[in-house]
Chain A
């Protein structure tokens, strides 16, 4: 089953999840809420048939959770445990936001996004910048893939064992080509009237359906309960 969510719902989810990951969970109830807001975007990814990414995210998150609760504690000592604590801490803390962001970026068309931004009266300047960022992810991915190919071909994928070189070799060509593409992209967009003074229109008709409202309610409730139980009670 494929659920077509309104982009505004998706952005709202992203906002709430981001807020929740910024507050540390301390009690079992708070942990439950966190896990719930992580599982929902995972299910949504599955409903969009993005099984591979859903599986990877789920595995990563579960491993980090298990590590945090079963194997690590304040008394843990040793370098390995310190590294593991750092790793799983970061994953458990921020992965929920990443999963949601991934879902939003991969399932929202630029047209829908621009239309949603207009309906929310976001200035065009901001909406366009954000849209360009979304447009750029697949480009970066393509460029990155061909740079990786070039590196493997020359046998320098690992930078000759030098971590700094490894990053340098990847980043320099990537930055050059992204700057070039960005430049050509804006020139092309401007010649087609982007950034004009007139009001932009949109062919995408947005409507909040029952399922949108349900999700908005669930996420609002999650945020309220989280804040109330953490800071008020």
Chain B
């Protein structure tokens, strides 16, 4: 029997000024070197447990705390946060907001500098971490130009550099693609081999199921069930479904990842799209480049022959009334593709033809509407109703009610959009898309960080949108979502069209 390193005894917690996100009489002990996986629905208290262990509760997030937490012999309530820095490391969910530096080198040494280590020791640690993780290529770069997966690797490296015994990961894979998750998995495996104690909160289970020694299922602030690692890994898919967890296996949407094996063509001119009838959105001449700077006077003219293109799609047909999943690695051009389609990149001169009409330039914005990954960016007004009316030319209140009703958010009509939950905000954004009469709706990562129950809801919503005559283009890393709702899957690789095929069919 190994000694326990984290001891949580009868802890209840309620955030200040909030009724939800509380824990009820949690008792949990984690042994040294154990890998514990926390799972459960969003809002079940997983993140709160992570915050108990790294001391952010009660020191950063105030609230009512009862019970005791001890981590490696420190009573958390009486320990200052900086004393825990060399002991407990945390990798957070959002790669965007866990950086203090602007450059990668500075970020890795940031923690060791804070705890006042000798500079030569810091340099040594940095070199060790960089070598172990093989991230030499990422050094000397600006963090703002890295992809989500690369940012998360730097986050792991900067936690590693503090050599903590305990490492906490709070939904680390939310914004990552398949390949980046493999890297993360390798990193977790290495930490495990080094004997670190790991506590991981996660919705995506497939990459962790054979790494976890113990799995805890949380529900409404309590520990509902507990399994040993092997027990959990061998659980039937029915049970997993009943618990509303994401599947333990990566859904097979052959090929699962667009890497080798698939018929990605190198030359963008020779790609032939799915042989389809002309009944669809015909996308023509979508070229875009981040590298070609516009000159001072004229706009750049891009052609398919340019070798510096970030996006090169000369011809593509999107079938009407269908949900089309757009997949591809982090930073491969999925978001760029969506932005170009809906006319947000001025330099992309592509045209969209539908029903005999051609939409070019700004006109594309009348046809398309994008629901962004961070919906907070597209809610502007002070009530849900005003938000919808803003999208309508005629401003009919009855129509607004009908739309809200159809998305079951009519009850929130007079609320401030920012006061709603993430899922509700997303619905408000969808409602304004419907109000704007968009025929082609684009979604950028609508399910990142969502549990399976919410993902199913989003999937059903997308299907409904397609059934009511819209065409939905959804960029996602969640293969579970593609299995749930997509009719077609479109793979983009290095800005080029890899392949497009029907989901479920192997041809």
CB-CB contacts below 8 Å: B146-175 with A:
158-159, 162
Point out which of A168, A181, A186, A196 has the most chain B C-beta atoms below 10 A from its C-beta: A196
Instruction: Flag the segment in B89-97, B255-263, B273-281 that touches A.
Output: B89-97
- On chain A, the residues within 8 Å of B205 by CB distance are none
With both beta carbons as reference points, the residue of chain B lying nearest to A131 in the complex is identified as: B100
Residues of A within 8 A of B195 (CB): none
Q: How far is the CA of A131 from the CA of B107 in the complex (A)?
A: 13
CA distance A230 to B110 in the complex (A): 46
- Of A11-19, A84-92, A139-147, the one with at least 4 CB within 8 A of chain B: A139-147
The A118-140 residues at the B interface (CB cut-off 8 A) are 131-132, 134-135, 138-139
Q: With the chains together, A173 CA to B100 CA distance in Å?
A: 22
A221 at interface by CB-CB < 8 Å:
no
Which of A42-50, A73-81, A151-159 makes up part of the contact surface?
A151-159
Residues of A16-58 at the interface with B, using a CB-CB cut-off of 8 Å, are 52
Say yes or no: B390 contacts A198, CB within 8 Å: no
Residues B357-410 near A (CB distance < 8 A):
365, 368-370, 372, 374, 376-381, 390-391
Q: Is B235 an interface residue (CB 8 A)?
A: no
Tell me if B102 and A109 are in contact (CB < 8 A): yes
| B82 CB, min distance to chain A CBs, angstroms | 3
Task: For B377, give its contact among A177, A184, A201 (CB under 8 Å).
Answer: A177
Q: Which residue of A132, A150, A181, A195 is within 8 Å of B372 (Cβ)?
A: A150
B432 & A154 in contact (Cβ 8 Å cutoff) = yes
Q: Which residue of B lies closest to A52 (CB)?
A: B293
Stretch at the interface among B111-119, B221-229, B319-327, B475-483: B111-119
User: Chain A contacts of B55 at CB under 8 A?
Assistant: 191
Which chain A residue lies CB-closest to B116? A198
Residues of B within 8 A of A3 (CB): none
The answer to whether B60 touches A190 (Cβ under 8 A) is yes
Q: Are A191 and B54 neighbours in the complex by a CB distance under 8 Å?
A: yes
Does A224 sit at the interface, judged by CB under 8 A?
no
- 26 A-B Cβ contacts within 8 A? A110-B101, A114-B113, A131-B100, A135-B100, A135-B102, A143-B377, A146-B374, A149-B372, A154-B390, A154-B432, A169-B380, A184-B97, A187-B56, A188-B98, A191-B84, A192-B89, A192-B114, A195-B81, A195-B82, A196-B80, A198-B82, A198-B115, A199-B116, A201-B112, A201-B117, A205-B119
Chain B residue at minimal CB-CB distance from A55: B296
Contact among B100, B372, B374, B380 with A194 in the assembled complex (CB-CB below 8 Å)? B100
Tell whether B144 is near chain A: CB-to-CB under 8 Å: yes
Q: Does B86 contact A (CB under 8 A)?
A: yes
Q: How far is the CB of B87 from chain A (nearest CB, A)?
A: 10
Known: A173-B377, A188-B90. 16 other contacts (CB 8 A): A109-B103, A110-B103, A111-B109, A111-B110, A149-B344, A150-B377, A153-B342, A168-B380, A173-B378, A173-B380, A186-B60, A191-B88, A196-B114, A197-B80, A200-B113, A203-B109
Cross-chain contact A110 with B102 (CB below 8 angstroms): yes
- Asked if B377 and A146 sit within 8 Å, CB to CB, the answer is yes
Residue in B90, B98, B115, B378 whose beta carbon sits within 8 Å of that of A150 in the complex: B378
Residue contact B101 to A135, C-beta cutoff 8 Å:
yes
Given contacts A146-B374, A173-B377, contact A193 B115 (CB under 8 A): yes
The residues of B with any CB-CB pair to A shorter than 8 Å are 54-56, 59-61, 80-86, 88-90, 92, 94, 96-103, 105-106, 109-119, 122-123, 126, 144, 158-159, 162, 293, 339, 342-344, 365, 368-370, 372, 374, 376-381, 390-391, 418, 432, 436
B-chain residues with CB within 8 Å of residue A147 when the two chains form the complex: 377-378
Q: Which 9 A-B pairs have the closest CB atoms?
A: A193-B85, A196-B82, A193-B114, A150-B378, A111-B106, A184-B97, A188-B98, A192-B111, A169-B380
Name the A residues within 8 Å of B390 (CB-CB).
Answer: 154, 156
Could you say which residues of chain A place their CB within 8 Å of the CB of B378? 147, 150, 153-154, 173
Q: Is A83 an interface residue (CB 8 A)?
A: no
| A131 vs B102: C-alpha distance when bound (angstroms) | 10
Contact with B along A170-187 (1 / 0, CB 8 A): 001100110011001111
Interface of A with B (CB < 8 Å)? Answer: 52, 109-111, 114, 131-132, 134-135, 138-139, 142-143, 146-147, 149-156, 168-169, 172-173, 176-177, 180-181, 184-203, 205
- Chain B residues with Cβ under 8 A from A131's Cβ? 100
Q: CB distance B88 to A138 under 8 Å?
A: no
Residues of B within 8 A of A154 (CB): 378, 380, 390-391, 432, 436
- Report yes or no: A188 in contact with B101, Cβ–Cβ below 8 A: no
The answer to whether B372 and A202 touch across the interface, beta carbons within 8 angstroms, is no
| With A111-B109, A156-B380 as contacts: A192 and B85 at CB distance below 8 Å | yes
B-chain residues with CB within 8 Å of residue A173 when the two chains form the complex: 376-380
Closest residue of chain B to A198 (Cβ to Cβ) is B116
- Does the CB pair A187–B60 fall under 8 Å? yes
Contacts of A184 in B (CB 8 A): 92, 94, 97-98
CA distance A191 to B293 in the complex (A): 40
Contacting residue for B113 out of A181, A197, A202, CB 8 A: A202
CB pair A190 B56 closer than 8 Å: yes
Most buried by A among B61, B114, B118, B293: B114
Indicate which residue in A142, A155, A201 contacts B118 across the interface (CB closer than 8 Å): A201
Chain B residues lying within 8 Å of A193, measured Cβ to Cβ, are: 81-82, 85-86, 111, 114-115, 162
- Chain A residues with Cβ below 8 Å from B102 are 109-110, 134-135, 138
The residues of A that contact B158 with a CB separation of less than 8 Å are 192
A37 to B413, CA, bound (A): 56
Alpha-carbon distance A200/B109, docked complex (angstroms): 12
